[in-house]
């Protein structure tokens, strides 16, 4: 057994002392191997920031806590920094990290931390891979996705297919024939749309990732800043459709206003899935 925790550190200086105190209390409670990850909102040294605006007070205390409990920061690959303020003159910092005790690391020696693409967030998501192979073998199921309603021309397409079928003698038979044809068409259409969606999202993320990496070492031109804005707007549209997909699978009426909720709905859907599965 192991203990894991996800933390969010205070961004305001007046609350950082209380956060570090809670961190110490958390680390002293358990006897299980522990791993802690999250946005600590504290850098560990001047090399974790791309400018000279540096105060050693909180990094000193943060490093002292890490050393006192003999924790190790798992090495990050793919990025030097994990947060950006997304301004014209960008500030980059490494605020997100994964800390583990030596017992945890010895249990999972093949663990790797990979930086993913930030998408439209200011933070870079971190992917923790323990090296264990996935055991998921569930085939995908066809379902009508609410996100399709956001696509231009979708309603016209459905109407044309519906009106093109007139098989059957009774109203019920005609309705069933129309429904069968629509379902058959949407199955093939959904596969093509899904492939195009993944391809476009991948292209957008690659371009944004390229601009982000360039911005870590030099200022972006005005054209590049405008391009980044356009790419982010299009990516936001795609992510909204993805969010609706997970919202539908979660089968929940809860909605968090003012933020992207994809991860929330994924967790709800995964929780419901685990309740009906025997592993």
* Residue bearing tokens 């059957």: 168
pLDDT at 257: 43
**Model's pTM, two decimal places?**
0.52
Average pLDDT, stretch 163-170? 88
Which of these ranges, 12-16, 81-85, 193-197, 212-216, has the smallest mean pLDDT? 193-197
Using the structure block, give the residue that is written with the tokens 């800390």: 99
pLDDT > 90? residue 159: yes
What pLDDT was estimated at residue 42?
94
CA distance 74 to 114: 10
Domain boundaries, the chain: 3-129, 146-275
pLDDT at 94: 92
Would you state the pLDDT for residue 135?
A: 41
pLDDT of 182-228, one tens digit each? 888 888 888 787 777 788 888 888 888 888 888 888 888 888 888 88
Is pLDDT of 271 > 60? Answer: no
pLDDT at 85: 84
pLDDT in tens, 32-70: 788 889 899 999 999 999 888 888 999 999 999 999 988
Query: What is the arrangement of strands in the sheet containing 71-73, beginning at the earlier edge strand?
Result: 3-8, 34-39, 96-101, 71-73
Q: Render pLDDT for 98-114 as a digit per residue (tens, 0 to 9).
A: 998 888 888 888 888 88
Where residue 86 falls (left for φ over 0; alpha for ψ -120 to 50; beta otherwise) is left
Q: Per-residue confidence at 279, pLDDT binned at 50, 70, 90? A: very low
Quick one: 3-129 is in which CATH superfamily? Endonuclease/exonuclease/phosphatase (3.60.10.10)
């Amino acid at each position: 057994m192991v203990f894991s925790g996800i933390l969010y550190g205070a961004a305001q200086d007046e609350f950082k002392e209380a956060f570090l105190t809670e961190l110490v209390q958390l680390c002293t409670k358990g006897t299980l191997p522990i791993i802690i990850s999250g946005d600590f909102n504290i850098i560990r040294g001047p090399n974790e920031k791309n400018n000279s605006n540096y105060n050693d007070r909180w990094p000193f205390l943060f490093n002292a806590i890490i050393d006192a409990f003999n924790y190790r920061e798992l090495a990050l690959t793919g990025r030097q920094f994990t947060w950006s303020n997304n301004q014209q003159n960008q500030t980059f910092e490494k605020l997100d990290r994964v800390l583990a005790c030596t017992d945890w690391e010895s249990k999972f020696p093949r663990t790797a931390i990979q930086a993913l693409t930030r998408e439209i967030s200011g933070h870079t998501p971190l992917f923790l891979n323990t090296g264990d192979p996935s055991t998921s073998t569930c085939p995908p199921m066809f379902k009508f996705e609410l996100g399709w309603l956001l696509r231009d021309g979708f309603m016209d397409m459905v109407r044309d297919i519906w009106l093109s079928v007139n098989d059957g003698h009774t109203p019920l038979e005609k309705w069933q024939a129309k429904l069968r044809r629509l379902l058959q068409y949407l199955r093939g259409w959904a596969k093509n749309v899904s492939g195009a969606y993944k391809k476009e999202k991948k292209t957008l993320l690659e371009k944004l990732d390229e601009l982000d990496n360039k911005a870590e070492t030099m200022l972006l031109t005005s054209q590049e800043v405008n391009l980044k804005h356009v790419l982010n707007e299009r990516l936001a549209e795609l992510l909204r459709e993805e969010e609706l997909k997970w919202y539908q699978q979660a089968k929940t009426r809860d909605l968090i206003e003012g933020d992207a909720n994809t991860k929330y709905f994924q967790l709800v859907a995964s929780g419901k899935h685990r309740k009906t599965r025997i592993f």
